[in-house]
Amino acid sequence: DSSAKFNDMSLNEVLLKGPDITNNLQGILLRFRRERVAVIGDVEQMFHNFKVKVDHRDYLRFLWHPENDMNQALKEYRMTVHVFGNRPSPAVATYGLRRSVACSDPDVIAFVTRDFYVDDALLSCPSEGAAVDLMKRTQLALKAGGQLRLHKITSNSKLVLSEFPSDDLAKDLKDFDLLSENDLPVQRSLGLSWDINADTFTFKIPLDQKPFTRRGVLSTINSLFDPLGFVSPVTIQGKLLLRQMLSTPHKVEWDEPLDDSFLQKWSTWVNSIHQLEDISIPRMCCKFSLIESTHKEVHIFTDASKDAMAAVAFLKVWKDGENCDVGFLLGKAKVAPTHGHTIPRLELCAAVLGIEIAEIIKEQMDFEQKDFWFYTDSQVALGYITNDARRFYVYVANRVSRIRAFSTPD
């Protein structure tokens, strides 16, 4: 355990973390929603594929019983590979993974470089053939470059699954009859539940009841893993409740019971989130392929109240210049500051939030600046953004310049 302390010092405290080269989780999930055929995979024992230099292995000593026999005397061992929980392991493994395909085809390099989150791979392609071809070439490249095995393959297409040996499929698919009419089991990847039959994302809400303390309430809110903001309208209600609970004259400690006057409201909210299990969200952003589309636009709406501010992006895709479809892309909500802000200023902050999610979408989905359109119903915020004649307070001026760095007043 690299975080275990002795004399107030742990191994992780003296190890360099290395550069943060882990891919953006939102970006991987956004790209996973682009095309009709989706595939996920996993690198077998990711960290254990990379050796520790011989002169560094003394730092990874541990005690254990020979041959797992508890009756034998403890013996000293050394790890020869990087281990889970070591501070530098993710950077080392991600760097090694990318180096192993450095001489491969450009699309394989792009896939491994952009669409792996440590050991999890997520891919979406316009056709079954393209998906199978890229996955198989990636498997060969990883094996040739570093003896890495890409396995636990899952797809929403039985045709794709049939192209791989059963040992390469996800655990609950190995003995599954792909020719049967039975539904494929729900899969989990990067914290999301994916119903591969309906090709939708679903939510699994933990059943365990957390104590009614600051720590327990925060843990319950954070248990709703939602990187794309599908259920932001729900989670923001929980965050607002927590803020009300903490707005007491004295500081509330982490494990101190909260005021009973909020217990009923909190219980109602906790019971309501279980209804999220009845919701399903299409994995694909739109019913049309982005690669095959003739035109696309991102429309971002922003709004604010005294309690919260939010931004939401929708993707509009045209096929053949006539047919079009609109789908949810990314959303984000934040609790508003408790004091010192007028509604117009909060509306301006919401507009900045819209710019922030636009920058994520542009970078991660390779869209162009001209594809983005922004909307706010605040005439004051629009006045701030379009005004060139007068000087504003620093607070407003900074946010206006942030907005205008990405978009134009029109």
pLDDT in tens, the chain (410 residues): 899 999 999 999 999 999 999 999 999 999 999 999 999 999 999 999 999 999 999 999 999 999 999 999 999 999 999 999 999 999 999 999 999 999 999 999 999 999 999 999 999 999 999 999 999 999 999 999 999 999 999 999 999 999 999 999 998 787 666 556 677 778 887 778 999 999 999 998 888 889 999 999 999 999 888 999 999 999 999 999 999 999 888 888 999 999 899 999 999 999 999 999 999 999 999 999 999 999 999 999 999 999 999 999 999 999 987 799 999 999 999 999 988 789 999 999 999 999 999 999 999 999 999 999 999 999 999 999 999 877 888 989 999 999 999 999 99
Query: Does residue 149 contact residue 43 with C-beta atoms inside 8 Å?
Result: yes
Handedness of CA 112, 113, 115, 121 (dihedral sign): positive
CA nearest to 191, candidates 117, 124, 282: 117
Reduced 3-state DSSP string for 340-357: CCCHHHHHHHHHHHHHHH
Q: How do strand 295-304 and strand 372-376 relate by DSSP bridges?
A: parallel
Query: Does residue 246 contact residue 214 with C-beta atoms inside 8 Å?
Result: yes
DSSP string, 109-168: HHHHHHSEETTEEEEEESSHHHHHHHHHHHHHHHHHHH---EEEEEES-HHHHTTS-GGG
- Enter the pTM of the model: 0.92
Rounded to whole angstroms, how far apart are CA atoms 315 and 326?
6
